[in-house]
Structure 1
Amino acid sequence: MLPKLEFHSYDHKSGPGAFSKNVSKALLSHKAPVLQSLHLKIYLLGWCTTSDTETLIGVVLARKLRKLVLQVLWEPIRISNGLYNCETLETLELKYHVLLDVPSSVCLKSLTTLHLHYVNFKDNDSLLNLLSGCPNLENLDVRQNSVSSTKPFTIAVPSLQRLTIYASGRVDTDAGYVINAPCLKFLKIEGTDQVFGYFLIENVPELEEAMISVSSHLVNDNLLGSLTSVKRLNLESSPSQIKFPTGSIFYQLVYLELLTHNEECWNLLTLMLDGSPNLQVLKIFSHRYWNNDAVGKWNQPENVPECLLFHLETFFWKGYDWRQEALFEVVRYILSNTNCLKIATFSSKQLRSEERVEMVKDLNSVARASNSCQLLVE
């Protein structure tokens, strides 16, 4: 009658097929009307074969399963087609050496959450076929290592609300992602250098929150231009050349986190302030110690941005290096031009007591536009 079961093939070493037999026996004796969750950890080292796994999946499908987590290591296995037509499955997590050769006919009408972690796709159509058979999918988490592909992966899911994409390693220049998700509310994209050939967001009019941490060539006019509906934006990059979307205004943006790495990030900060007239919260995260070449020069906007004049209430800087004059100029500009600022917080955890006194002295020397602004040093 247990609602949740977990089996690990490493614990069944009495001989080939023992794992499949033991798990099948346990599942056949299961008497609860619904199996809430089944987690299978399979190490294919001669003790559990692909055919054994297919047998297990067949037994599982008869148990009215709600959640399946399948984790396979060492040798890839192909998922049996029966899994793609499980009407009761609500959550599916496939991890590592799972081969997805998805047929064109898929019916997972109850599936709302899908995690694909470092699985192998036979081709790009396998992902498209899988997603097209999930009419009620709301949460999708895709993680990939190096990819070789002749065309992008397309994520076209009308019901999708949360999407996370993570990639590491290298891919061919033709590989990438195309997103068409009209109901998407949350988007997270994370990747190391050279992991995407390109990234195209076609249709996300309902997007409210985005977290973007990618290499420089992705922070371009297409990516930022497709995010103009967001209310909260977390942006991390090391751009060598910012291509800001000309004429785009982030009217809905009220919360911005910017993770800085080099001098070009100040150009992005200037552009984001100018293009976010209703911004209320600004947070900057940077390295604790800068070298002079990395800091660069702050080129303040020609005109004071509207958000500073009328809306910005919270300013936070973690890793603020008070000894760098260029960084102090950024702080001076924001404090002296933000009329509605209520609190400004500066975090430098490794300061000695005498350094902290000096930093507070420098910050207090800045004339603040807001008389009610509270200055905090952590």
Structure 2
Amino acid sequence: MQNVFVANCHLYKLQWNINRSSNRVAMNEEGRISELPDALLLQILSSLPTENAIATSVLSKRWRSLWTMLPKLKFDCDYNPVIHDDNIDPRVFSENVLKSLALHKAPVFESLHLKFAGEYDCLDVGMWMATAFARGVRRLVLDSFYQEEQTVTLPSVLFGYNDTLEILKLKCAIDLEFPSRVCLKSLRKLCLDQVHFKDEESVCNLFRGCPSLEELVVDRYSNADVATYTIAVPSLLRLTINDLNQEGGYGNGGYVINAPALKYLDISGFNGLGSCLIEKAPELVEAKISYVSDITNENILESLTSAKRLILHLSPLEVKVPTGKIFDQLVFLELCTYEIEWWNLLSIMLGSSPKLQILKLTDVYLREDKKNPDERIWNPPKCVPECLLFHLETFVWIGYECQRGDEKEVAMYILQNARQLKKATISTKRIEMGMLEKLEKRREMLNKLASVLWDSNSCQLVFEST
């Protein structure tokens, strides 16, 4: 690694001297670095922007085609190593990309990353993609930023058959239309960031054509394209959906998720949708559900009963809480204490999770102006939950508010009834040393919590400041 660092320093110095036309010093630096083996030089070039790596081809015969063996290429239409010009001719950029791809001859084409404006037409983008596909590229990133609201439509014919692409990331000003068959035979990971589908058929055709897909990441505005976003992928193991539309969707559309092999689920920002229906996920291990509210028809919590780890940042008033359902595999639970009536969700989850071992309560905002702090009243379960009596070993509370009645009652109840507890960590918001009254009240509260432990000899109680 030291040799690479030293060589990098020489290479940057060489480029700087060439720009300053110091020919004698530049030749000395070029001679020094050219003595290194090809493998090390390629490692050095890989750490440079692709445009800089290609520019080294003018140094000497030794460097002329060295860059063509780079396994990873990245082109940015906003980048120019000589001048910084926001009005770079799109045709020049497109021709440079095509020329570079034509000269490229690495035995394994690991990655191609293209960042371009929406003003490029589908012919340009199609030629880039076709060339990359012909070279067997394994990872393709198309990052198309908005240019005066212009977008580019990817040629659907290129998705008709491909057996080498493993990772595909599409971002922003890209339109997708798949009226017919799609076949991305080897695709394992797909990221769709604010891209637009023409219709629901296009969504279904894309996912149906990815038989090996294991990970899907979707960031979208739910009211921007299709009403019902259907994800039916039998092979899918990990699914992340971040709905960026905070104002709500169509009101009569939403999500349908059918992924029977799913092991990890993360959904966030579902607001005002008509539905969110998740088919049974018997293999689910971990799920994170946050900022979900006002969905007319949903079964989110009901679909998570096989999970071993749950992170729920939501209110029981804003989602349907199943009755009679048992989370009998759950060993880790995290709840957000900023949500309305979070304590009622806690009661339900404690009563429904007989094997729970780790409980984490957190206020992600660490705010003092929490909603109606004086009106919160917690009614503990009528019977002590089985998990507290026999299984809970770790209790963590981040952002504990000493002066809030509901938080005090919850903390005391858990410490008093968790008979197998081995460690409890209470983290409070930092109080300045000058605020003596608050410091004294916090000390009294923490002492009171310590006094109610079921067995102080078997549990380690830790107090921290956040």
Alignment TM-score, normalising by the size of structure 1: 0.93
Distance in 2, Cα, partners of 1:214 & 1:235: 9
56, 59, 62: which is aligned to 2:134?
62
Q: Distance in 2 between matches of 1:172 and 1:249?
A: 33
For the aligned residue pairs, the C-alpha RMSD in angstroms reads 2.1
Picking from 313, 329, 332, the partner of 1:236 is 313
Does the aligned pair in 2 maintain the 1:41–1:71 contact within 8 Å?
Answer: yes
Residue type at the aligned position of 2:444: E
Is the 1:220–1:245 contact (alpha carbons within 8 Å) kept by the matching residues of 2?
Answer: no
Deviates more, 1:284-293 or 1:307-316: 284-293
Structure 1 residue 5 displacement after superposition? 0.3
Q: Is 1:76 the equivalent of 2:151?
A: yes
State whether residues 308 and 337 of structure 1, in contact with CA within 8 Å, keep that contact through their aligned partners in structure 2: yes
Structure 1 moving runs of 4+ over 6 Å: none
1:19-45 Cα distance to aligned partner (Å, 9 max, x none): 111010000001112210000000145
For residues 63 and 107 of structure 1, do their structure 2 counterparts lie closer, same or farther at Cα, with a shift above 3 Å needed? same
Measured against aligned partners, the alpha-carbon deviations of 1:195-214 in whole angstroms (never above 9, x if no partner) come to x3221001211001000003
Identify which of 194, 203, 208 aligns with 1:132: 208
SS at match of 2:294: helix
C-alpha deviation, 1:16, in angstroms: 4.1
**Relative contact order: is structure 1 or structure 2 higher (C-alpha 8 Å, sep ≥ 6)?**
1
Does the alignment pair 1:188 with 2:256?
no
Alignment partner, residue 328 of structure 2: 251
Q: Judging changes above 3 Å, is the alpha-carbon distance between structure 1 residues 221 and 125 closer, same or farther for their aligned structure 2 residues?
A: closer
Classify 1:71/1:241 alpha carbon distance in 2 versus 1 (closer, same or farther; 3 Å).
closer
In structure 2, which of residues 386, 390, 396 is the aligned counterpart of residue 310 of structure 1? 390
Letter in 2 for 1:128: C
| Correspondent of 1:273 among 339, 345, 350 | 350
* Contact 2:222–2:254 (Cα < 8 Å) also in 1: no
Deviation readout 1:329-356 (Å, 9 max, x if unpaired)? 1111101111100011011141345525
One-letter amino acid of the counterpart of residue 290, structure 2: S
Q: For structure 2, which runs of at least 5 residues remain unmatched after alignment? A: 1-68, 81-86
Show the counterpart of 1:23.
97
* Aligned partner of 2:361 among 250, 259, 284: 284
Q: 1:241 to 1:120 in 2, by over 3 A?
A: closer
Distance 1:361 1:36, change over 3 A: same
Give the match for residue 36 of structure 2.
none
Q: Does residue 1:368 correspond to 2:454, yes or no?
A: yes
**What does residue 201 of structure 1 align with?**
278
C-alpha distance in 2, partners of 1:220/1:231?
A: 25
Task: Note the 1:23-42 alignment, pairs <5 A.
Answer: 23-42=97-116
Alignment CA distance shift 1:93-1:10 (3 Å): same
2:73 is aligned to 5
Residues 218, 205 of structure 1: alpha-carbon distance in 2 compared, 3 angstrom cutoff: farther
Q: Are 1:242 and 1:264, in contact at CA under 8 Å, matched by a contact in 2?
A: no
Quote the residue 1:320 is aligned against. 400
Q: Tell me how far 1:103 sits from its aligned partner.
A: 3.3
CA separation of 1:185 and 1:90: change in aligned 2, threshold 3 A: same
Mapping 1:140-159, distance limit 5 Å: 140-147=216-223, 151-159=227-235
Residue 123 of structure 2 aligns with which residue? Answer: 51
> Quick one: distance in 1 between partners of 2:136 and 2:453?
67
Other-structure match for 1:299: 379
Amino acid at match of 2:451: S
Deviates more, 1:294-303 or 1:61-70: 294-303
Q: CA 1:306 to 1:14, structure 2 compared with 1: closer, same or farther past 3 Å?
A: closer
> How far 1:147 sits from its partner (Å)?
1.6
1:171 matches 2:249: yes
In 1: Cα distance, 2:88 partner to 2:175 partner = 27
Separation (CA, whole Å) in 2 of partners of 1:320 and 1:218:
30
Deviates more, 1:141-150 or 1:310-319: 141-150
* Matched letter for residue 35 of structure 1: F
Larger Rg, first or second structure (1 or 2): 2
Instruction: Answer whether contact 1:149 1:174 (CA < 8 A) is retained.
Output: no
Deviations 1:48-107 (A, max 9, x none): 433222222222221110000001122211111243122210000000011110132111
Does the CA contact (< 8 Å) of 1:149 and 1:172 recur in 2?
Answer: no
Tell me the TM-score normalized by structure 2: 0.76
Cα distance in 1 for residues equivalent to 2:286 and 2:300 = 14
Aligned to 2:195: 119
CA contact (8 A) 2:243 2:268 kept: yes
Q: Distance in 2 between matches of 1:247 and 1:219?
A: 21
Asked whether the equivalents of residues 315 and 341 of structure 1 are also in contact (C-alpha less than 8 Å), the reply is: yes
Q: Is the 8 A contact 2:269 2:291 kept in 1?
A: yes
1:187, distance to aligned residue in structure 2 (A): 0.2
> Cα 1:297–1:290, aligned 2, differ >3 Å: closer, same or farther?
farther
Relative to its length, the structure with more helix (as a share) is 2
Letter in 2 for 1:293: N
Deviation, 1:220, is 8.2
Measured in 1, the distance between the counterparts of 2:348 and 2:392 equals: 16
Are residues 323 and 374 of structure 1, via their aligned partners in 2, closer, same or farther at CA, if it must alter by over 3 Å? same
The amino acid across from 1:324 in the alignment is R
